Amino acid sequence: MASLDHHRKFRPTEPSPPIPQRRIPQLARRSWTQLIVIRHGHIAANGGELHAPMAGWTDLSLSPRGLLETEQLRQHLAGGMRFEAIYSSSLSRATDTARPLADAGLGPLHLCPALREINCGEMDGVPIAEIQHRFPELWRENRRQAREDFRWPGGESYREFRDRCLATVRGIAADHLSGRVAIVTHAGVISQIVGSICGLSPACWEPFRPGNASVSELAWHGLGGVIVSFDCRDHLERIGYL
C-alpha cells in the first residue's frame, strides 16, 4: 500500500493541516480495529461537469470507468487482504464497488444505510449548474465552509452528518475489536472521519476528499482513530486513473 503522502490530493479553500500520524503502542494493538476505508468507484457525477447532478442520496450507478476501477481494486485487495466483514453504504455506487470484494471471498458483505453520503434534501439529483443559478447564496455559503449548521433545504447539516459518520464507525469498530474490516463508502463520509481526527470543523468538507476507488487505512479505538495511510491509488496506475 502506498505511503501517506503518495497521491494525496487536496482542493481546499485554505491550506490543509498536516495529517497526524503516530505509531500504535505494541501492547495496545489488541484493542484497536483496523479499518480499510474505500471510496466507491467513479460515477458520471464525479467528473466535475456543471450538468452533473448533486449526488448525495441519489442512487447513481458506476460509470464504465468506475467498473474498471473496481476490478483493479478487487485484484489489489485479493492479493492478501481478508476481512471479518465488509460494510457498504446501501447506495448502488458503493454496493457495486463492495460486492466484487465479497464475491472474491474477502469477507461477508453487510449493507449499512448509515454509511450513505450526506443527505442533500431537495437538491439531491439536481444539476450543479441549476443549483448555482437558482440558489446562488446557498451555493456560496456552502463553498465558504464556515457553518456547521449549513444544510441544503430538507437535508442534514454538516454537524448532523459528522455525528452520523462517527457513530457508525465507532459502532463498527466496537463490534470488531482487534479485527480488520472494510468500509466502502463515499467521499463525504471519509472526509468527515479524517477531518474529525485532524480536528477540522464538520463544515470543512473539502480538504480530505479522497479519489474514486482509493484505499485509506485507519486504526480505531474507542471514540477516535489514527490515520495510517490516506487516499492510496497505486492500484489504478495500470488503467491511467490516478
> How many other CB atoms are found less than 10 A from the CB of residue 213?
28
Find out whether 29 and 220 touch, Cβ atoms under 8 Å: no
pLDDT, mean over the chain: 89
**pLDDT band of 52, cuts 50, 70, 90:** confident
> What is the residue extent of each domain of the chain?
26-239
Give domain 26-239's CATH architecture: 3-Layer(aba) Sandwich (3.40)
- For residue 56, give the 3-state DSSP assignment: coil
How far apart CA 191 and CA 179 sit, in angstroms, is 23
Find out whether 220 and 35 touch, Cβ atoms under 8 Å: yes
Neighbouring residues of 217: CB distance < 8 A, sequence distance ≥ 6: 1, 34, 35, 36, 37, 227, 228, 229, 232
- Reported as type and span, the H/E element at residue 232 is strand 224-232
- Of 2-11, 49-58, 75-84, 97-106, which range is least confident? 2-11
- For residue 182, give the 3-state DSSP assignment: strand
Q: What is the largest CA-CA distance in the chain?
A: 56
Find out whether 120 and 54 touch, Cβ atoms under 8 Å: yes
Beta strand 180-185 with 85-88: parallel, antiparallel or unpaired? Answer: parallel
pLDDT over threshold 70, residue 242: no
pLDDT over threshold 80, residue 191: yes
- The amino acid sitting at 98 is A
In this prediction the pTM is 0.87
| pLDDT per position as a tens digit, 224-237 | 999 999 999 999 99
- Of 23-32, 83-92, 211-220, which range is least confident? 23-32
Partners of residue 183 on adjacent β-strands: 37, 87
Instruction: Give the residue-averaged pLDDT of 106-129.
Output: 97
- CB burial class (10 A; 0-12, 13-18, 19+) of residue 168? buried
- Of 18-32, 46-60, 100-114, 171-185, which range is least confident? 18-32
pLDDT value of position 83: 98
- For residue 126, give the 3-state DSSP assignment: coil
pLDDT value of position 90: 98
**pLDDT band of 212, cuts 50, 70, 90:** very high
> How many other CB atoms are found less than 10 A from the CB of residue 217?
18
Locate 23 and state its grid cell.
505509531
Instruction: Give the residue-averaged pLDDT of 49-58.
Output: 83
Locate 184 and state its grid cell.
466502502
